[in-house]
Amino acid sequence: MRFLAWSNSTALALLAGVAALIVLLYLLRPLPRRLIVSSSLLWEQVLRSRKRRPERWRWWLSLLLALGIGSCVVLALSRPEVATISGAAEELVVVLDDSATMATRTVYGTTRFEEARKRAREAIERGGLGSRFMVADTLRQIATPSFQPREAALSTLGRLRVSSAGVPVFPDVARPLDARANLQVWFVTDGIAGITPPPGVKTLSAYHPADNVGIGAFDVRPVPGDPARYQAFVEVLNASAGAKRVELRISGAGARPAARTLQLGGRARALETLDVSAFDGGVLRASVEAQSDAFDLDNAAYALLPMKRVVRVALVTRGSTALEQSLRLVPRVQVTVVAPERFSSGRGFDAAVFDRVAPKTQPTVPALLVRPSWAQWLPAEAGETGELPVERWDASHPLLRSLSLRDLVVERAAAIKPGAAGAEAGGFIQTIASGPRDEPLLLAASAGARWLQLAFNLEDSNFPQLPSFPVFLSNAIDWMTGEPPALDRPLGRVRLPAAGARVTDLAGARVAVTSVPGATLFDAPEPGVYTAVTSDQRLRVVVNALDPRLTLVNASPLADAPPAPSPARARLLRTDPWVLLLIAAVALLCLEWLTFHRRVTV
Amino acid sequence: MKGHPSPIGPFPNITTVLSESFLSQLDTLALVQRQRAHGQLKGMHRSRRVGAGMVLADFRPYAEGDDIRNIDWGIYLRMDRLMLRLFEEEADIPIYLLLDASQSMDHGNPGKLEYAKKLAAALAYLGLLNHDRVNVAAVTDTVREVLPTRRGKNQAPQVFRFLDGVQAAGRTSLQGALRRYFAAPRTRGLLILISDFLDREGLDESFAILRRFRHDVMLLQVMSPQERDPQLPEEVVLVDAEDGTAHELEITPALLAAYRETFERHAQGIEAYARKYGWGYARVQTEVPLEDLVLRGLREEGLLR
């Protein structure tokens, strides 16, 4: 037994002090009153007739009752801990798996996570008085787990929710505590996330078999040979043990949804291709429906259909085979070669590519200028540079998406001064790539109609021979036509490469964001399409849960868990000794009152 | 008598002992004498002697010298013989009023001795009214004070003064007191013993002495409410008023019940003894007004008529 309110020695000293005080008070009772009576003759007869019973026992009884009351009160105040009554004090770490599959509904009408939380709550309720509890989770919703009293731990437990953000891992809670003898670590999981707890950790199963049909993959691509047409590729998984009839549906703007009924066997998958050319550009939503589906997160997936299927590009050149052929390789680009003297304003085109020429005024359409002749609206040039490699480039810029300029070598380039740009460009010219001494090699201006400028002639570099050149042209066309490629992100915390972005969801509602230097963070708990707007760009973010590990909600090595018991039952089993002591004190007080008024102890 | 100086000297105002109204009520009462009077003087009690009286006792032939006023002339006419009517002679009785004046009588509220003195005064007054010879003595373990025989109502102030002067002192020994009192020859009469009968030497020998002298005995046991039903603290040292004996007691309901039972048994023992030998007995409870005791209580007990 130990005491929670004070140290053992303090409690025992207090107990002894109270007992001594009670005994002292009993010994210090007042002297009996002297009373003169006419005769003590009859009293003597009474005393003779009554056997001299040891009346002292009354005193002892009263003293014992008083000692009992005092001891019970002192012990109650000391908050004793008795293992046989209140359970042994221990330190229990409960780690809850709060990964996405824990949201799977069970046959009991609850989710796996709720069952897991019941088990954790039961473990905490069963803990003895004085026990301390640490609640942690695999997704670090609880950033700094610490040992807490029971009620605080239950409160922490109640705040936990299933999350689809991040990669679940076993938290680093047990390692520094291994030396503690009375430490227990419990891990409640459904086993889907494949987390392997450290040795000595007791794993409690929260796994219950469930039916689930979900989308494993979803992508929209143009039809090869016909960039104006688009196809959707959908992978549908059936994680259930039995066959399922699945309704697959793709919906978007401008056309009736495309639907297909699938018959999937148990633990089977289907790869479906659907023509989505009929839809207008924008958001496409793929969804599956099946009976008794227990997991919702993978039932929908999103993709973006390009708004402009064909981009009309005017190639203003006196002749550049490499440029023309590379442009023709870019999907959905329709190239028209125009002589420089015949190019006027760019009407009838979506973009223009100027090869070694430049219009006197900025064209009304976006333009890519390859070593243009100087014009008033372009940055000033200060001669020419010699051979120089590309030393620095902004890989995060959409222009350089999926390519590298490491092998690019430029023999000769114009020495451009970005600060001396024309009035229209102002300060919106950005150097995307530069030489060893910051010589601009690739400039981008986003004010008004966008334009790009390569500081070197293609023939003065090895760029046309590099595989990244067509990719660069494709990125340039995409960037210039104002439809930057959407970002694909998994569920959870999304990091945008733009600071101070304002993010809205599909319904136009603002999403809470966290701004950090150079980036914007926001949480995407469900699949969807988000729009991020900064001062100079507009990004579309497609968030999907396209992960077969999520869909396969029955791929658990754990056994089927029994239903979790009610926490109330565990609570009934535990009784605080101080409550019992107070009850005993009250009972003794009643007994003392009874014996006093029945004149047993007086 | 109120306001008149006594011819034999100063005596207390009678109202300090008994009120005048109470004394006037006593005029109609008399002490009950169970035995024939043995007094030598003319009194109001029937005696074994024949002589002048009002109650016809017998007849005898007339002899010369007899009082011719007692000849029954009716018998003479019918039988032609002179027969003399004999009458029971009415004599006085000696009343011995013994008042326990030991220290034990000086307790209670009202005080036992004060109450006993008033009772004794009332009974003495009744005796004086009936022309009995009243002997009053204050006894403890001996005969402490004695008032010589008094007879006649005019002697009441002296009796009252004597009683008024009795103070509690000494210890109780009725045996010793009675031996001493009856050491002198006493005509058989009515002995009234007023006491609390709390005698360490016991009562048997004392009562045997009374039986030996064949007096008509009246025992009046004085008791205070504090004696009958004591209210005591839980822990108390009881000190005997007469000998100073101390007893430390833890008072419990059981002990109090046992005491009350013992007290009752003590009183019942005295009463039973008195009834057995034809003595009068009455409990004198000091909380009862004296007038009620005398005018109603003692009459109901048959001690007064």
Which residues in chain A have their CB less than 8 angstroms from residue B245's CB? 40, 44
Residue ranges in chain A modelled with pLDDT below 70: 1-2, 51-55, 83-89, 129, 174-182, 227, 308-309, 419-427, 447, 482-484, 536, 564-575, 602
Is the per-residue pLDDT at B46 higher than 80?
no
| Number of folded domains that form chain B | 2
CATH number at residue B143: 3.40.50.410
- CATH homologous superfamily of A311-480: Class I glutamine amidotransferase (GATase) domain (3.40.50.880)
Tell me, rounded to whole angstroms, the distance of Cα B32 from its chain centroid. 10
Is the domain of B87 the same as that of B219?
A: no
A51 part of contact set with chain B, CB < 8 Å:
no
The answer to whether A499 touches A520, Cβ cutoff 8 Å, is: yes
A20 part of contact set with chain B, CB < 8 Å:
no
Helix (H, G, I), strand (E, B) or coil at A373: coil
Is the per-residue pLDDT at B155 higher than 80?
yes
- CB contact set of B105 (below 8 Å; sequence gap of 6+): A38, B111, B112, B113, B116, B168, B195, B196, B222
**8 Å CB contact of A41 and B248:** no
The two tokens of residue A348 are 């009838």
Is the per-residue pLDDT at B28 higher than 50?
yes
Which residues in chain A have their CB less than 8 angstroms from residue B249's CB? 43, 47
pLDDT per position as a tens digit, B288-300: 999 899 888 888 8
Percent of chain A with pLDDT over 70: 90
B248 part of contact set with chain A, CB < 8 Å:
yes
**pLDDT confidence of B6, banded at 50, 70, 90?**
very low
Is the domain of B31 the same as that of B141?
A: yes
The pLDDT value given to residue B1: 35
* Minimal CA separation from B286 to chain A, in Å: 14
Which residues in chain A have their CB less than 8 angstroms from residue B284's CB? none
pLDDT per position as a tens digit, B211-264: 888 888 999 999 999 999 998 888 889 999 988 889 888 888 888 999 999 999
Residue B267 belongs to a domain: no
Residue B5 belongs to a domain: no
Residue B130 belongs to a domain: yes
Which residues in chain A have their CB less than 8 angstroms from residue B239's CB? 34-37, 40
pLDDT per position as a tens digit, B54-69: 677 778 888 888 888 8
The answer to whether A254 touches A278, Cβ cutoff 8 Å, is: yes
Is the domain of B98 the same as that of B85?
A: no
Q: Tell me which of B105 and B36 has the higher pLDDT.
A: B105
Residue B208 belongs to a domain: yes
- CB contact set of A552 (below 8 Å; sequence gap of 6+): A192, A212, A237, A239
A599 part of contact set with chain B, CB < 8 Å:
yes
Give the residue from A541, A549, A531, A546 showing the smallest Cα distance to A494. Answer: A541
| Residue in B172, B241, B262 closest to A49 by CB | B262
Is the domain of B21 the same as that of B52?
A: no
Is the per-residue pLDDT at B8 higher than 60?
no
**B216-223 vs B280-285, strand pairing mode:** parallel
* Minimal CA separation from B167 to chain A, in Å: 15
**8 Å CB contact of B259 and A43:** yes
CB pairs under 8 A between A and B: 92
The pLDDT value given to residue B14: 46
A48 part of contact set with chain B, CB < 8 Å:
no
What DSSP string runs through A386-423? --EE--EE-TTSGGGTT---TT-EES-EEEEEGGG--T
Angle at the Cα of B40 (from B39 to B45), degrees rounded to 5?
Answer: 40
Residue B74 belongs to a domain: yes
Percent of chain B with pLDDT over 70: 86
The pLDDT value given to residue A85: 66
- CB contact set of A362 (below 8 Å; sequence gap of 6+): A377, A422, A424, A448, A449, A451
As a 3-state breakdown, chain B gives helix, strand, coil percent values, each rounded to 5, of 35, 30, 35
The pLDDT value given to residue A324: 92
Q: Which fold has domain A88-210+553-573?
A: Rossmann fold (3.40.50)
**pLDDT confidence of B51, banded at 50, 70, 90?**
low
Residue B131 belongs to a domain: yes
**8 Å CB contact of B234 and A602:** yes
Average pLDDT (B162-187) is 90
- CATH code 3.40.50.880 region(s) in chain A: 311-480
User: Distance between CA atoms of B139 and B168, rounded to whole angstroms?
Assistant: 10
**8 Å CB contact of B240 and A41:** yes
The pLDDT value given to residue B11: 44
Domain that holds residue B79: 42-91
Q: What is the pTM of this model?
A: 0.49
Average pLDDT (B178-201) is 90
* Minimal CA separation from A591 to chain B, in Å: 18
**pLDDT confidence of B124, banded at 50, 70, 90?**
very high
Give the position of tokens 């004599």.
B91
Interface test with A, best of B226, B256, B259, B260 (most A CBs within 10 A): B259
**8 Å CB contact of B108 and A36:** no
With CA atoms as reference, the chain B residue closest to A35 would be B238
**What string of H, E and C letters represents the secondary structure of A41-64?**
HHHHHHHHHCCCCCCHHHHHHHHH
